[in-house]
Structure 1
């Protein structure tokens, strides 16, 4: 059974509230997702702690939640998670350190760059956008969902969230729901594996091959969704 948009909204608010009680600075598993202009660069779980981060343009600086006196004790942060994801998965990133904000601003990830006029790298936590200078001030809890996305300035819509089953039967239709972070309402006109969502944010897919399949939602002007993995059986 798929979740209603109201249940989805509740889950989003619950997830966003999780950052109120940060985890101690011990190895913490979070999900990191990097959405480039045309494709997902990386999406997976990462173990991270708060630590110093070094970039070619920004140098070496702490990034452990105590930046800007945001927290009194160190912990894992969105940028420390990006740094560990890059080290563990073989891609690079760059960013400037802005001393007045005691934080980094991302310029390039895996070769995709902001141009400071049309495109910019934003960050998000649990499907909600963060401020630009929050990547070293926000502390993470286990299971948090960290996002970095390259978006066009002035046309950014919702950060899409895809909700759906993790199991299915071959040649049997299953329904997915797309909701957006800004309105918390269903998103009509998004595509899920090529199927367009209706007014309720629903898209019905039928998987024709057994094994591990995946689904992802996209819509122009919005940040594409998380991936949902579906184990398809006979």
Structure 2
């Protein structure tokens, strides 16, 4: 499931405190954060963050993994929206959203200049994944940006996706692949071929016709690249309608 519209994702309410208490800075850890707009990568790299008060839509509330009874008995912790907030402060961009008091969490509607949008044909919106997945709790409820606790080294992805306005499932993000490119780092001699693999990060299925350095992947999600200039290069996998991949760092030697 794709963590997004809290009122849609949660099928029933959990008893939760509505007190807007201050959050102490414990539970900090470092995760790998990636923010993908529809046009470019806004952020990609490690970020250290932890539970904090978040303000969106004029509402300030703790973002600590405790909203809507999502992690009973667990300590306050770092969440996807905390990582987003830390990156925004580090890079100087802003974000906004709408608070849902029933579930004590936000629907993030804008990151930097990229904002939720829809017409009669398409819906475009922000959502988050952790390790390409979204956890569930209770009776098929889905954890959202201030409810899913993060472990050190988790891969956190905020992505802006597009779905058809009719028949599109904003919960499952059906039909959209979140591309994953491996290896993440390569050292190769000039003119020597090396093979990369592109999959859908959620399912692990091979992704055909993804483009890496202008080379298309085959039915097994593989492409062989040849680079003829020495230096350091970065590539991502792209396919129309899907979320671009993580970066691959390539060092080409003589």
Shift of 1:209: 2.7
Which sections of structure 1, spanning at least 5 residues, go unmatched?
A: 1-23
For structure 1, which segment, 221-230 or 148-157, has the greater mean C-alpha deviation from structure 2 after superposition? 148-157
Name the structure where helix makes up a greater proportion of residues: 1
**Residues 89-135 of structure 1: CA distance to partner in whole angstroms, max 9, x if unpaired?**
11111111111111111111111000255211111111225688611
TM-score between the two structures when normalised by the length of structure 1: 0.83
* Cα distance change of structure 1 residues 69 and 50 upon mapping to structure 2, 3 Å threshold: same
For structure 1, which segment, 130-139 or 40-49, has the greater mean C-alpha deviation from structure 2 after superposition? 130-139
Secondary structure of 1:96 counterpart = strand
1:146-185 matches, within 5 Å, as 146-153=156-163, 154=168, 156-164=175-183, 165-185=185-205
Q: 1:105 & 1:217 partners in 2: Cα distance?
A: 28
CA RMSD of aligned residues (A): 2.0
Moved over 4 A (4+): 129-133
Q: 1:119 & 1:189 partners in 2: Cα distance?
A: 23
Q: Note if contact 1:156-1:223 (Cα within 8 Å) is conserved in structure 2.
A: no
For structure 1, which segment, 120-129 or 148-157, has the greater mean C-alpha deviation from structure 2 after superposition? 148-157
1:121 is aligned to 2:126: yes
* Cα distance change of structure 1 residues 58 and 116 upon mapping to structure 2, 3 Å threshold: farther
TM-score between the two structures when normalised by the length of structure 2: 0.77
Number of aligned positions between the proteins: 210
Q: 1:96 & 1:85 partners in 2: Cα distance?
A: 20
Q: 2:115 & 2:153 partners in 1: Cα distance?
A: 28
Q: 1:231 & 1:132 partners in 2: Cα distance?
A: 40
Q: 1:182 & 1:82 partners in 2: Cα distance?
A: 21
Q: Which residue of 2 aligns with 1:85?
A: 87
Secondary structure of 2:157 counterpart = strand
* Cα distance change of structure 1 residues 58 and 126 upon mapping to structure 2, 3 Å threshold: farther
Indicate the structure (1 or 2) with the bigger Cα radius of gyration.
Answer: 2
Q: 2:110 & 2:145 partners in 1: Cα distance?
A: 15
Secondary structure of 2:177 counterpart = coil
Q: 1:41 & 1:132 partners in 2: Cα distance?
A: 26
1:130-145 matches, within 5 Å, as 134-145=144-155
Q: 2:214 & 2:134 partners in 1: Cα distance?
A: 26
Q: 1:129 & 1:166 partners in 2: Cα distance?
A: 29
* Cα distance change of structure 1 residues 25 and 129 upon mapping to structure 2, 3 Å threshold: same
Shift of 1:58: 4.2
Shift of 1:231: 2.2
Q: Note if contact 1:216-1:224 (Cα within 8 Å) is conserved in structure 2.
A: yes
